[in-house]
Structure formats: C-alpha cells, structure tokens
Structure 1
Amino acid sequence: MPTPASPFDTLTPRRRGKIYIRVSSTKGRDEIYSPEMQEQAARARAAQEGIEVVGVVYDLNKSGRDFAKRKIQEMIDEVRRGEYEVVLLWKWSRFGRNLRDSLNNLHELEKAGGVALSGTEPGDSHTTMGRFTRGQMLLIAELQSDQIGDSWRDTHRILLDMGLPHNGVARFGYKRVGKTYEPEPIIADALAEMYQRYVDDEPLSSAARDMANLGIRASNGEVLTSARWLTAMETGFAAGLIRKRKPGATSRRFDQWDWYPGAHPAIISRELWDAFCAKRTSSLGRNWASTKAKYSISGILRCWRCDRKMTAGADARTPPQVRFRCPGIVTRECKGVTVLLKVAEAEILEWTENRAQSLETVEDMARKAATERTRSSEIDKLQRAVADAERQLERLVELYEDDAIDRETYNRRRAMRESERSQAQIRLSELGAAETAAKRAMPPEFFKGMREAWPVISQDRRRQLIKQVVQKIVVHPGHRGDKRLEIVPF
C-alpha cells in the first residue's frame, strides 16, 4: 500500500496553521536562535506542505513559564474551535519547557484534532516511526538541556567560591569596576539610610517618598517605590554578601535564601544586616508567598490619570476597610485616585446584572466600538512598525556589505531594530488574542451564574470570573453615590 506523500493527505484540505516561536533565555542571555530564524524555517515547512499561515505567536521569554503555558493552551483551544489545524514549530522541543511538557502539549493538540510540524527536525504523529523519531529528537533536546544546566551549576559554584554574583547585571547602590563592584556615591548612602530607617520601624512608604523627593532614582530613571526598595534590600548585596537559593526552595521568599561572603565591599555593617534580617523574617506570614489573589479586583483596577495598576491597603477607619489607591500617590508622580473595595464590587455586580439581563447601554456599545477602533488603529501602527524595522534591517545589511559601517555599529543597530520589531510583534500577538476574545462574547447565562455564585465563592475565584470578561477597570474621581468605574470588557 503506497505511503501518503504528506501527513496532510489524510487531513482537511483547509491546511491552515499558526507558527509558535520561543526564544529561551540561558541564564540571562538570549540564545543564538533568533525569532527570525525560527519563523523562516517554519514558513519554509508551511510552503512545502501547502499550509496557509494565519498567524505567529511569540514567546520571547518576557513572562516566563506561565506566559508559555497560557499561549500554548490558547493555541490548542483555537485548534479545537476549528480556527486552524496545524501548529508549526522550529524544533519539537519548542512546544514545552521540558520533555514532559512537550509530549503533554503535543498529545493535547492531537486530542483537539490538530497536528504539529517541525521546520527543522523529522518526525510526525501519523506513523509509528514518525512518533519514534519525534520522541528521539525530544530526548536529545532534554539531554542537551541537562548538560547545559550541569555546566552552569559548575560555573555558579566557582563564581560563588570567588565571591562573585552568578551574572553581571547592575546592582543597586554599586557601579561595576572590572569583575567586581564598588559603592556608588550618594546612591549607596541612600541605600544604607533605608536599611536603618526600616530597622528603626519607620514606615517604608514614608522613607521611599523622602528618597524620591531627594532625586534618588533607579538606573532606568524610575522612581523607587517602597516595594522596589525592599526588593533591593533583601538581596543582602549591600552587606557584602552573595545570596543563593536554599536546596529545595520553592519560592523567592526572604527565608528561602542562604548568604555567602562576596568579593565586593559592604555598604552597611553586619550588625545592621542582622537586625534587618530579624525584622524581615518576623514579618513573614504563613501565606506570604501565596499565588492566590487576595481581592476580587487585584491587578484589574487602573488609575484614570496615569493608568497605573492600583494597589490595596487598609484605610484609617474603624473598623478598617480595604481601599485601592494609585501607587503614584506615594511617590507624588500622580495625584491619583482611590476607591473602596466594597464600592468597586457593588458597581461590578450591577454591571454583571445588566449583562445577565442582556441590558447593554448606549455607553457600553459606544465604549466597545471605541475599543475596537483603538485596537484596529494600534494593529495598523504596529504592522507599519514591523515593516519599517524590516526595511531598516535590510538597509543595515547593505551598508555593512558595502563597508559603510563597521561590524560593531552593525551589531548595535541590528540589535536595536530587532528589539523594536520583536516588541511590536509581541504586542500584535496580544492584540490578536484580545480580538479573538472579543469575538467570543460570553452569553447572558454566564453572567447569571456569576451573579448567583458571587456571595459564596472566594475573592480569588471572583477575580478569575471577572478576568474572563473584563480587560481592565478604570477608576475615575467622583462624589458619594456617583458611578466611578469604567468597566472595559473584551
């Protein structure tokens, strides 16, 4: 019996596919296989098989494992809905963070009625030998990954013995001098003062505000919030120490680290560091590292003035009530706005009730139309930016080949243009996902169920339901009784 010329001989003739591109970061450094190289190989395979490419999904290691898991699951769901049939990869190992992830994702894709193809490696899901070959490619990739991990662990061990951090990134309060670090004037003094004020039980938000008023900034020019100060202080670098995760540590919590002597000079005394550690450790609650949302609107509220995500805290009332505030109020970068949790939830429930009764107001329809226009305009702008970056990259190659620019200039400009293009492509992917979500609007039954379940479900579960139907909620100023929330649905 003759063997089919292509695995697609047994599939629907529509032959639509989406490319999935992943660029890993190897200990802080991007790998050599660029998104462009991966996309080129995947498109070549698509052309060979007669597949229409309907989109590209980029995972450029900007959001870690959760980002990749979410994007891959979205692609599997799209295949299940019949939006396309094929996922095109550069290598089989790109479809997961390890061997198990890749095999699970491939299995889920096939259960959904789809198929994956690699642009550079043999193997398929339709024949015994094809599945065997694909498995061997994944095993080889796992072996290579483990060998790289072993090499980096050895390197980190050597650096730790030398008193050096495992990477060369900037350290707040220090400047890089050769292979080590020296205290940076003014910034180092400010950091030492923050340690002392924290140990003296002074509110960190007040100290952070004072530093902002004095002009102390992060290396990128941003104002340092109290949370960012605490993050810098927790590293222990200012005490002349290098930290390393404890064996078996499952989080980045303060008590999950060990500290070792560093080769760099300390900014603060060991006594001050010990006092900081004692105070910091005593403040860690049992659920300090919980991944569950504490409130139903955590991470969803935005300030109408500056679009910052609003944060929660207790107000001065008796009994205290949860109030969300613009973080720009503390740093004095924004006049900000505040809203009580109970006020916000009441407006959200009213909005949910209207959706349950299919009561879409004129304002809602106008807002939805405006959102669609804005999204369409941004997509056009980003597509032009991608095309412009590609033209500039082609021009750079011509200039380099004509010896009009040297290699250093070429590499620097190419990196800038590729970064611009990658950022635009990532945003295009996000907008495409939002557009898809907007097309599958939830029926009134969903909102009825949400309204009925609201009183008995947890804050975290409430947030999960809100996130399914709402992009963000913009908080406006207003008087008592005014509607202050602008709910932006998908």
Structure 2
Amino acid sequence: MESKPSLKYCLYARKSSESDERQAMSIDSQLNEMRALAENEGLQIVCELQESHSAKDSGKRPVYNKLLKGLANEEYNAVLTWAPDRLSRNAGDLGSVVDLMDQGKLLHIRTYSQTFTNNPNEKFLLMILCSQAKLENDNKSINVKRGIRNKCEMGWRPGVAPLGYMNRAFAGVNDIIVDPERSEFITEAFQKAGYERWSGRRIKAWLDEQGFTNRSGKPISVSQILVILSTPFYYGKFQYPESPDAPWYTGAHKPLISKELFDLVQETRGMNKGIWGSKTFAFRGLLKCGRCTADITAQDKFKTLKSGDVKRFVYYNCTRRKDPNCAEKYVNEEKLCELIQGFIEDHHGEIKITEKLRARVDKHFYTTKTILTHYKIDQQLDDPFVEYVRYVLADGTDSERTFLASNMGPMLQIKNGELEFYTH
C-alpha cells in the first residue's frame, strides 16, 4: 500500500493595512493562533512567512511569490494560514494555488476552521471562498465610488474644504460650513482683486497685516492666493475629481462670493497677465496628438491639502480642434516627464539640440563629473544629454524644463499614452 507523503507546512500570515502598529498586532495574532493549532494537531512547520500587503492585485506580493516559489521547489508541500482570503483575493493568485495543487506540489491547506486538499469538492470550495473575497473587494470599490458620486450630487465636495470653509461632522452627516474666522477675509480678497485690481502681492501684504493664516497657523503665499482667486468653489460650483474631463457639481455650501465677482476677477487676471503670476506649461510646444494631429494643450488643477496649503497638478491633452471626438486621453505632467525621459534615453542619438542647450548640457556634465571625482564616487555616467534630461525632469525648475523643450527637436507626438516622433 502506497504511503502518504509527510506534510511540511509553511505558515503564512498577511495583513493589508499600511499602519505598522496594526500590521504587527494583526500578524502576531495570526501567527500565535496558527502556531497553537499546529502544536495541538502535531503539524510540522518548516518555515514562517509574513507580509503587510494588499491581495487585490495579482502577482504584486513579494512574500506571497516567495511562498509559491517554495512550493514549486518542493521546500514544503502544505500551507498553514488564518483564512483562505489571506492567500488570495484575485483570480490570478488563486489560479497559481490551484495549479500547484493539480501538480501535486501543494497537498494540503489548513486554515483555522477548514482544510483543503487536492480533492475536487474541496478545491471547488476553496475557489468559491476566494472568489467571494474578490467579489467583496470589487463591491467595496464600486460602493466607495458610488458613495462619493452621491455625495457630490448632494452638493458636498469630498476632501478638505478650501480656506474660508470648514469640514463638519454632525449627527452622522458630513458637510461643509463657513469658517467664521477666515471667510470674511476671503470675500474681501476677491473684492479687492476684482473691484480695486489689487495684485497678489498687495493682497498678501494686507492679509499678513490682518494676521490671516492657514490651518497650520502659517501666513499664506502669493501662489496660494492665486489658487483661491481661481477656485469656483467660492461661488458655489466644484469639479470632482480634479481632472480635465471630470463633471461639475452645484455645491450645497454657502457661497462667499457671487458668480459675477468671480468672473470679474478672472477677467482682471486675463487683461493683466502676470498680476498673479503667469502659468507655465513646459512641454506644450513640444507635443502633437498622434491620433488627430491637433496641438497638445495644458491646464492646471489645484488641490487643497489638510494644512490649507495648495498643490498644483498639470495635465496635457489634445485640443480636439481637428477631431472633437478624439479619444486620446490626458496625461499628467509627472507621467509625461517619465515618458519623455524614457524616450530620450532610447532615442537621444536621433534628437537635435540647439547650441544654447548644448552649452547647458556640457556644463552640467562637467559639474557632475567634478563632484563625483571630488568625493571619490565610482559611478559610470551615461550620455551627457541623457544625464542632463534626467536632472531637469526630476529636479529642474519650470524654466529649465521649458528651455529644454523649446531647444530640442524634432517634435514629438503622444499616441495611446506613448511618445513617438511626430510623423505628419
């Protein structure tokens, strides 16, 4: 009679939260419970693996991949874990587990309350339980998006309220109310900008004299004033999420200004460019749409952080002047910088640059070599133009990026989210 192979278990514990303290407590709890179970039932544990990582996406967990590799290499042939959803919440990872069972390399899965072997009924139950976990994940995502959309349709903007307003939770309802300490200053700032044509610096000086601060207690900058004067939320409208194609909603909050005053401030900015500071879109003249050959334009969006500070996001998209239905999607500047860097690394020999840009490239390369030599750092440098591009796209100023884009050629096109040489 053929003897059954001995079972060698790998104890696997996982927690998906990113909080270190909660991770440690939860994983320790799983490990302690399963160690006790192994001792009571005489199970042989040959290794323990643990990680804090979401199981939503397939193949993204490094420790879980190590678990699968150990099974494939026959370092152990059984898994001990708290519950089936610790192993998988997606079809890809579940398929890997079932494949190992079919190959006879995973003989036994033991959870706190169930066992699974290479038996059709038990494998089917395992797949049902893991699929149920995936369904819960998918439904949770759908429900979160639906809840956010419903909140927007009710007129309540998600996230931190702009300066001049406050987030409030009352009787189970989260809403946005006027900040009694800051709202009057915001209204008056709009009035001074629109009716009296005050500059951003003059408004800042006035606000500083009044002791006006953000929620962190710090004076606001001129750039923050620019954002405030450009935010439709103050007259009762908002866009969510903050992207070019996102829908607009009518807010349920109390407006601090009228639509007419807001429009007047925008007109004032348009007639006196540079009053608040001009917008910079470094790569607008470098790109064409690869689908319809129209120009690529750019626009910026601003997000209010919890401190009351504001972060600027820049998006590039097809103007759709040649094809109103052009399907080329927008790309944010951070992603565009990655695309440009990768493209130049691959095609720098085909790109022509002006003498002015070449002078900057050579100066940067010389400085970099000097620093490496001084500090005795053994590092191989790439092509001087590639090194300069990496510096400018990662750490350069807006003016350096603009100079780079305007002094190189030929023109590029973006198609299906990828860069190519412009061919039309």
Please tell me the TM-score bracket, short chain as reference: 0.3 to 0.5
Higher helix proportion: 1
Normalising by the residue count of structure 1, what TM-score does the alignment of the two structures yield? Answer: 0.42
Q: Which has the larger radius of gyration?
A: 2
Higher strand proportion: 2
Normalising by the residue count of structure 2, what TM-score does the alignment of the two structures yield? Answer: 0.47
